[in-house]
Amino acid sequence: MKAVFFISFFLVFISCKHSQSDQEQSSVHALQQDKLIPSFTSETFEYFPECSVQPKSVQFTLSREFHPENAYLLLLASLLSEEKRPKRTIPPQLEAWGFANSRVYNHAWWGLRLFIAEHQDFLLVTFRGTKTLSQNISNAMFSLVDAKDFEGRVHRGFYGVYRRQKKKVLRMITEANSARKPIVFAGHSRGGAMASLFALAAVKNGLPVHQVYSFGQPRFGDLAFNRFVDSTLDNRFFRVENFNDITPNLPPPKEQATEIANMVLENKPLIKEQNLAGIIENLSYSFTAGKAYYLSADGLSDKSNLGPTPETHQSLEFWQQFKETVEAEHIIAVIKSFRSHLNDHLPPQYICHLENNLEN
């Protein structure tokens, strides 16, 4: 009798494993096929920024590749998450886009807002960028700590919010995706960093992460961490940067931080050198993972086409210009420069710059 019981249990167990395996293989197969999502279109969007003179009519394509049109629509979704009354504005827009079910989650204390929206073909998870005092505080906590859930070292502030909200957010995503549809993560600035972290956690928990799109994302870890991101997300992580945006250059790597500290010490002798040295030693930030695309007057460029280490050169050039401006004591120039850099970081500027690079 016991033998019959154990044989029956074994057969049921094997059957379940095969069923799960078939489901995963079916999901992977589906992801390899481009699928147009006509309902997710810019034509039904109601919150275009003022700089958007001639909004482009584009549709979303569920694809394994990077699509400028997808970036454009996900930017619109990111802008939607910036709305002051998210529970009034987000659900109607998502319904117009064909998302039958949606949920807005906002934790003011930890500075985390996101929405989860279910389409018949995929799940969309979008995170808001920096808007509140608590978010600015955690942004400023830029020392690196061990990424216990992953590998390497990661931005203390971002990781702290992620760790405290991980179980809640993953549970919401899992509950919204019982059919195991492909999941698309997106976010602007800090929201891009959050989208990346939670996408990593989703992969680790066996969820079918399809792609991650981030816009103007700051650096968020050291070399070991970024290598882990690349190996985990495996060509599913796309970053879009305005060429003049300051945020992707922050926090500065140790080399640039050392030069900045030297300038500070020359101009502010009262600052203790050992304090700055301790801060700099902890700034072992690496250039961010993922496949990156530049938005400039010349169009949208894949960074891999700009030279062997384009991001390194661009960052060094940025900090060199900053150093020269400060050394020349052109205060007005410094203010104007940072105003320009900060302006190019705003979601509306990303939308309008990308809009100019889309075909009619």
pLDDT digit string, tens, across residues 85-107 = 777 888 899 999 999 899 988 87
Selection from 31-40, 220-229, 306-315, 339-348 with the highest mean pLDDT: 220-229
Q: What percent of the chain is predicted at pLDDT more than 90?
A: 40
**61 inside domain:** yes
263 versus 64: which is more confidently predicted? 64
Residue 188 domain flag = yes
Average pLDDT of the chain?
A: 77
Q: Does 223 have pLDDT greater than 70? A: yes
- Residue 315 is inside which H or E element, if any? helix 310-327
Question: Is the model's pLDDT at 335 over the cut of 50?
Answer: yes
Amino acid at 300: L
In angstroms, the CA 272 to CA 281 distance is 15
Strand partners, 231: none
pLDDT tens-digit series, residues 292-322: 898 877 778 886 544 434 444 455 566 566 6
Residue 325 has pLDDT above 90, yes or no: no
Q: Give the model's confidence band at 9: pLDDT under 50 very low, under 70 low, under 90 confident, else very high.
A: very low
Strand ranges (DSSP E) for the chain?
35-41, 59-62, 101-107, 112-118, 123-127, 144-146, 153-155, 183-188, 209-215, 237-242, 291-296, 299-302
- The answer to whether residue 297 sits within a structural domain is yes
Q: How confident is the model at residue 61 (pLDDT cuts 50, 70, 90)?
A: very high
Q: Report the half-sphere exposure of 265 (CA within 13 A, side-chain side).
A: 12
Quick check: is 299 in a domain?
A: yes
pLDDT confidence of residue 310? 42
Please identify which residue in the block is written with the tokens 């987000």.
90
Between 244 and 190, the more confident residue is 190
71: its two tokens = 């970036």
Q: Which residues contact residue 89 at a Cβ distance below 8 angstroms, ignoring those fewer than 6 apart?
A: 47, 80, 83
What total number of domains does the chain contain? 1
The answer to whether residue 326 sits within a structural domain is no
Judge whether 15 lies within some domain: no
| Spatial distance between the Cα atoms of 194 and 159, rounded to a whole number of angstroms | 9
Q: CATH no. for residue 128?
A: 3.40.50.1820
Q: Which domain holds residue 66?
A: 35-251+286-314+345-355
pLDDT bracket for residue 77 (50, 70, 90): very high
| pLDDT over threshold 70, residue 27 | no
Q: CB-based contacts of 137: which residues, under 8 Å, 6+ apart?
A: 111, 157
Residue 25 phi, psi (nearest 5): -65, -40
Residue 25 lies in a domain: no
Comparing 110 with 223, which gets the higher pLDDT?
223
Q: CB-based contacts of 289: which residues, under 8 Å, 6+ apart?
A: 196, 225, 226, 227, 229, 230, 233, 237
Decide: 160 and 125 in contact? Cβ < 8 Å. no
Q: For position 228, what pLDDT does the model report?
A: 96
At residue 30, the pLDDT reads 45
Task: Give the predicted TM-score (pTM) of the model.
Answer: 0.81
Residue 336 within a domain: no
Q: What is the pLDDT of residue 89?
A: 83
What's residue 13's pLDDT? 31
Pairing type for strands 237-242 and 209-215 reads: parallel
Answer for the pair 303, 244: CB distance below 8 angstroms, yes or no.
no
Stronger pLDDT, 318 or 67, i.e. the higher one: 67
Q: What are the start-end ranges of the E strands in 167-318? A: 183-188, 209-215, 237-242, 291-296, 299-302
How far apart CA 16 and CA 338 sit, in angstroms, is: 58
Report the sign of the C-alpha dihedral through residues 260, 227, 190, 170, in that order. Answer: negative
